[in-house]
Chain A
Amino acid sequence: MNEHLSTTQISERLAGDRSGQNERHLQHCAACRSEVAAFETGLAALGQSIRYWAAQQDVTPSSEIDIRRSPARLSWRWVPASVVIGAAVFLPVHWNLEARREAARQEDAKFLESVDTQLSRAVPASMEPLMNLMQQGKDEHE
């Protein structure tokens, strides 16, 4: 009880160490208690001061921390790559579209040809069997 806490013991106490022996000493020793309390007050005041000081320094509005700044900054670097990628994707699609258009044109042509064929017939297709029978009978008759 005669000896006060050492600097190390006080530092340990301030760091959060609540070991029994030191706590018991602090309960009975006003000088050590006062020293710990004074330093704790100083540390709390320092924390408060730094928080206040930083709040005064921090003039950047949160909106200015633009997290999307990065892609914008990189956009020029990506321009040539985008052109190549775009061409690589667009040209095959374009060629494929052209081929499909040509095929469709051919299909259309075939379809129109068949329509012409149908329309150029003398009788409707539904009457063709009857016409065939008539033709057959006519042939037999002859």
Chain B
Amino acid sequence: MMAASMENPAEEIQDFDRVVETYQAAVFRFVLASLRDRDAAETLTQDCFMRAYRHRNKFRGSASVKTWLMQIAVNLVRDRARNRRFQFWRRTQLSAVDACDLKDCIGNRDMSPESQTVLNQQVRRIWQAASSLSEMQRSVFLLRFVEEMDLLEIADVLGVKEGTVKSHLSRALNNIREYMGKAK
């Protein structure tokens, strides 16, 4: 993965099989966390790479391949959310792959069972609160804390200024903390 990302992006995109292999997991993860629907995430991940493949000759390499793929993924998620607004939110509320699946994923053996329980609860509440975010705030939040992208990279993905990203992220965190405060 490191070898791929250190290449010139315009050259890297030519070996498309390798691009798929390298970035498929990240794209799928972002879409899955955004939609919370495994089937939709698989479909949109496929669509993302299909779209990238079709337009690969237009990619000039001014951003990294991951940034470019994430731009496509964000647009696909946004289009889907807009087209299926009602189904999307209903599915989100009823989602079977919700926080209950996340809580067992934290495996820190240095923590006491009590601390782990507290952390599990906190993760569950943040995850629930994240579903209340606007589309833009949710994208910024996931790109920052799941994909661990820095603010400039997120700005490139979303086509906005770094200050705008910071503002959306700050509001997203504020909303999550308020939601958690109310839910207590």
Could you tell me the distance between the alpha carbons of A57 and B32 in the complex, rounded to whole angstroms? 9
Q: List 28 A-B contacts (CB under 8 A).
A: A8-B170, A10-B173, A10-B177, A11-B170, A14-B170, A14-B173, A16-B151, A16-B166, A38-B122, A39-B177, A42-B123, A42-B126, A43-B126, A48-B106, A49-B102, A49-B103, A50-B142, A52-B105, A53-B97, A53-B102, A53-B105, A57-B32, A60-B24, A60-B28, A60-B42, A62-B20, A65-B24, A70-B53
Could you tell me the distance between the alpha carbons of A65 and B146 in the complex, rounded to whole angstroms? 23
Pairs A-B, 3 closest by C-beta atoms: A54-B29, A11-B173, A49-B105
Chain A: minimal CB distance from B133 (Å) = 13
Which B residues lie within 8 Å of A58 (CB)? 24-25, 28-29, 32
Which residue of B41, B50, B105, B145 is within 8 Å of A69 (Cβ)? B50
Which residue of A44, A49, A51, A62 is within 8 Å of B24 (Cβ)? A62
Which B residues lie within 8 Å of A65 (CB)? 20, 24, 45-46, 49
Which B residues lie within 8 Å of A104 (CB)? none
Could you tell me the distance between the alpha carbons of A17 and B41 in the complex, rounded to whole angstroms? 32
A93 at the interface (CB under 8 A from B): no
> From A54, which residue of chain B is reached at the shortest CB distance?
B29
Which B residues lie within 8 Å of A42 (CB)? 119, 122-123, 126
| Chain B interface residues toward A at CB < 8 A | 16-17, 20-21, 24-25, 28-29, 32-33, 38, 41-42, 45-46, 49-50, 53-54, 97, 101-103, 105-107, 119, 122-123, 126-127, 142, 144-146, 148, 151, 166, 169-171, 173-174, 177-178, 181
| In the complex, chain A residues 52-76 whose Cβ is within 8 Å of any chain B Cβ | 52-55, 57-58, 60, 62, 65, 67, 69-70
Which B residues lie within 8 Å of A12 (CB)? 170
**Are A49 and B28 closer than 8 Å at their CB atoms?**
no
Could you tell me the distance between the alpha carbons of A131 and B177 in the complex, rounded to whole angstroms? 121
> From B177, which residue of chain A is reached at the shortest CB distance?
A7
**Are A47 and B20 closer than 8 Å at their CB atoms?**
no
Chain A: minimal CB distance from B4 (Å) = 13
A15 at the interface (CB under 8 A from B): yes
Could you tell me the distance between the alpha carbons of A15 and B28 in the complex, rounded to whole angstroms? 24
Could you tell me the distance between the alpha carbons of A67 and B25 in the complex, rounded to whole angstroms? 16
Which A residues lie within 8 Å of B122 (CB)? 38, 41-42, 45
Which residue of A7, A17, A51, A70 is within 8 Å of B174 (Cβ)? A7
A46 at the interface (CB under 8 A from B): yes
Chain A: minimal CB distance from B154 (Å) = 10
Which residue of A7, A10, A54, A67 is within 8 Å of B20 (Cβ)? A67
